[in-house]
Copies of this chain bind each other. A is one copy, B any other.
Amino acid sequence: MRTSIATVCLSGTLTDKLHAAAEAGFDGVEIFEPDLVASPASPEEIVALAGRLGISLDLYQPFRDAEGVTEDEFETVLRRARAKFVLMQRLGIETMLVCSNVGTATIDDDAVSADQLRRMGEAAAEHGVRIAFEALAWGRYVDDYRRAWRIVELADHEAVGVCLDSFHILSRGHDPAAIEEIPGGKVFFLQLADAPALSMDVLSWSRHHRLFPGEGAFDLGSFLTHVLRTGYDGPLSLEVFNDVFRQTEVGRTARQARRSLTWLEDLVGSRPLPPVAEPTGFDFVEVRAEDTGEVDVLLGQLGLTFRGRHRSKDARLWADGPARIVCNEQHARDRTPSLAAVGFQVADPAVSAARARALQAPTVYRRTLATEQELPAFRAPDGTEVFLGSGSGGEATWAPEFEGGRTSGAALLTGIDHVNLAEPWQCFDEAVLFYSSVLGLRVDVSQEVPSPHGLVRSQVVRSASGACRLALNVAPLVWDASSGFPQHVAFSTDDVAAVARRAVERGLVPLAIPQNYYDDLVARFDLSRAEVREMAELGLLHDRDGAGTFTHFYTATVGEVFFEVVQRVDGYDGYGAPNAGVRLAAQDPDR
């Protein structure tokens, strides 16, 4: 299907927006009136630019407060509308969005609204254009698409149809099934937006928090299916008001937007992608720095074994069973340690890579020699490189390229439990869409965790099996600006106390946890003083959910990286969120 995007979704000037939409692969745009009004480019220049860029101008929007008014008022409405119809002719735009009246309606009568829309339609037809009537979720009288359609039916004019907007319908909880009762030829336009599940007034929700499809909580797959069953064959068009997208780089937002429609078309089966395959485990995590020495020491203390240097690259592999960390000093001048890449094990890397490419994930290129495994790789929105490997569990197909190390001894670590990534605030929603659409990770719990410098927002995305879990963390602005927000890898084990004890014997100084925390543990849980004393000696933290328990400890931070070791018992399914505030206070760089 054709794709389109409203210019209000994007930052910059109108011409910036047209360039970005075209470059991201959209077929057309909706012209948001304030963008045109503020543009120094004439309508003729806009048409010429769109022509050169190969995009169409699909909709002129919005026209407000048109119907349900007195006859006196309606005269002004018609004058205003005629001026816009002339402008639309100059722009070569066929359809104008007419919103249900919010400000000036005084007559709550379908017949009056229908009569006024019919007369607007007659005027539109004189100019060779048409109007698409949309029920705003906060329309004064018309706030339901079913009523908007009744009014359009009554108006009974070929230049009068409806515009359907997923936000206005789903935010109100209206059943979209009745969309199928509208003939496709009367659905003049379709606007798509997702949104997070928020409990707030619908106007603020709409104006500030809309998201691209796949980034929020709406069931857009079933919504779109209802619309397609009408026979609608106009564009799938995005209309997303979002405070973040309004200020971030226009090209990036346009590509993110385009990806959301690719995902949605796959979801409804209208343009299938290579199938999604949930990762079955972490293949490796890579730490990159000019000198990873301190990280190597930490890994040794935690019980990972040095498995060797890479044949052709300046990288070392550390492993314990399926827990694998690559320390990479390639192309890392002046870099302090940070998490640079995460490898996932998938059933068929070639298929997953084809899906990633179809979703416009930017490819990462690394020099690979003929004798080496070539892992497809893509760059996530936060800059993390995502590699796709075909190994499983303890096996990594590329491990033999690392030579000169030892094989592991008795494995105490059982793998990588989860990886915590720092997300710049500009990237958060795009990251959620990336990890869910490319890798099929599911959106799980979201938490806000207090730190000494503000709340940290933490969103987990994970595979259904729990084999791969990522926590996406947005740091408070002040922390984010003053120093990199630390990222970490959490290793899993069946005996966290043993891992901690061995690590301490090898010289590890665990992150210092205050005695006050342990006093509180005694108050909260049925733990003996002796149990808690051992925890305190090893820097262990503890949490419970239902029947399950979670015991874990942290290393100090090196550069922007630290490590955690966790033991889940009896199906504990969280991440120790009640302890995160204690951890963040202990990690406070200003402490």
Listed by A's residue number, 17 A-B pairs whose Cβ atoms lie within 8 Å are A11-B453, A13-B585, A13-B591, A36-B516, A37-B581, A37-B582, A38-B517, A38-B582, A38-B585, A39-B585, A41-B514, A43-B516, A83-B519, A199-B204, A243-B476, A246-B455, A248-B478
With A12-B590, A84-B523, A200-B199 as contacts: A516 and B477 at CB distance below 8 Å: no
With A201-B200, A246-B455 as contacts: A40 and B83 at CB distance below 8 Å: no
A454, CB-defined interface residue at 8 Å: yes
Within 8 A of B (CB), among A374-429: none
A34, CB-defined interface residue at 8 Å: yes
Complex CA–CA separation, A246 to B80 (angstroms): 49
Within 8 A of B (CB), among A25-59: 33-34, 36-43
Residue of B nearest to A477 (CB): B247
Complex CA–CA separation, A34 to B84 (angstroms): 59
Residues on B with beta carbons closer than 8 Å to the beta carbon of A450: 34, 246
Q: How far is the CB of A334 from chain B (nearest CB, A)?
A: 23
Q: Judging by beta carbons under 8 Å apart, are B200 and A37 in contact? A: no
Q: Which residues of A contact B (CB under 8 A)?
A: 11-13, 16, 33-34, 36-43, 79-80, 83-84, 87, 198-201, 204, 207-208, 243, 246-248, 448, 450, 452-455, 476-479, 512, 514-517, 519-520, 522-524, 581-582, 584-586, 588, 590-591
Q: Judging by beta carbons under 8 Å apart, are A247 and B476 in contact? A: yes
Name, among A11, A16, A43, the residue most crowded by chain B CB atoms within 10 Å (CB to CB). A11
Residues on B with beta carbons closer than 8 Å to the beta carbon of A586: 38, 40
Q: Judging by beta carbons under 8 Å apart, are B478 and A247 in contact? A: yes
Among candidates B11, B199, B585, residue contacting A201 with C-beta atoms closer than 8 Å: B199
Q: How far is the CB of A525 from chain B (nearest CB, A)?
A: 9
Q: How far is the CB of A47 from chain B (nearest CB, A)?
A: 13
The 4 A-B residue pairs with the shortest CB-CB distance in the complex, in nearest-first order: A247-B454, A83-B523, A200-B200, A38-B585
Complex CA–CA separation, A513 to B353 (angstroms): 49
Among candidates B247, B448, B516, residue contacting A37 with C-beta atoms closer than 8 Å: B516
Q: Judging by beta carbons under 8 Å apart, are A516 and B80 in contact? A: no
Q: Judging by beta carbons under 8 Å apart, are A514 and B40 in contact? A: yes
Please name 4 further chain A to chain B contacts, defined as beta carbons within 8 Å, in addition to the given A37-B517, A38-B584, sorted by A numbering. Answer: A38-B585, A43-B516, A199-B200, A199-B204
Residues on B with beta carbons closer than 8 Å to the beta carbon of A207: 448
Complex CA–CA separation, A322 to B243 (angstroms): 40
Q: Judging by beta carbons under 8 Å apart, are A39 and B199 in contact? A: no
Q: Judging by beta carbons under 8 Å apart, are A519 and B87 in contact? A: yes
Complex CA–CA separation, A584 to B13 (angstroms): 11
Q: How far is the CB of A473 from chain B (nearest CB, A)?
A: 15
Residue of B nearest to A453 (CB): B247
Name, among A16, A198, A248, A585, the residue most crowded by chain B CB atoms within 10 Å (CB to CB). A585
Complex CA–CA separation, A524 to B243 (angstroms): 27
Residue of B nearest to A46 (CB): B516
Complex CA–CA separation, A80 to B34 (angstroms): 59
Residues on B with beta carbons closer than 8 Å to the beta carbon of A13: 452, 585, 588, 591
Q: How far is the CB of A296 from chain B (nearest CB, A)?
A: 29
Q: Judging by beta carbons under 8 Å apart, are A83 and B516 in contact? A: no
Q: Judging by beta carbons under 8 Å apart, are B247 and A39 in contact? A: no
Name, among A208, A516, A523, A581, the residue most crowded by chain B CB atoms within 10 Å (CB to CB). A516
Q: Judging by beta carbons under 8 Å apart, are B581 and A34 in contact? A: yes
Residues on B with beta carbons closer than 8 Å to the beta carbon of A80: 523-524
Residues on B with beta carbons closer than 8 Å to the beta carbon of A477: 247, 477
Residues on B with beta carbons closer than 8 Å to the beta carbon of A476: 243, 246-247
Residues on B with beta carbons closer than 8 Å to the beta carbon of A517: 37-38
Residues on B with beta carbons closer than 8 Å to the beta carbon of A40: 512, 514-516, 586
Complex CA–CA separation, A13 to B452 (angstroms): 6
Complex CA–CA separation, A42 to B518 (angstroms): 12
Residue of B nearest to A590 (CB): B12
Complex CA–CA separation, A477 to B477 (angstroms): 10
Residues on B with beta carbons closer than 8 Å to the beta carbon of A39: 514, 516, 585
Residues on B with beta carbons closer than 8 Å to the beta carbon of A37: 514, 516-517, 520, 581-582
Complex CA–CA separation, A204 to B457 (angstroms): 14
Q: Judging by beta carbons under 8 Å apart, are A11 and B523 in contact? A: no
Q: How far is the CB of A405 from chain B (nearest CB, A)?
A: 39
Residues on B with beta carbons closer than 8 Å to the beta carbon of A84: 523
Residues on B with beta carbons closer than 8 Å to the beta carbon of A198: 200
Q: Judging by beta carbons under 8 Å apart, are B11 and A452 in contact? A: yes
Complex CA–CA separation, A201 to B455 (angstroms): 19
Residue of B nearest to A583 (CB): B38
Residue of B nearest to A243 (CB): B455
Residues on B with beta carbons closer than 8 Å to the beta carbon of A41: 514, 516
Q: Judging by beta carbons under 8 Å apart, are A479 and B514 in contact? A: no
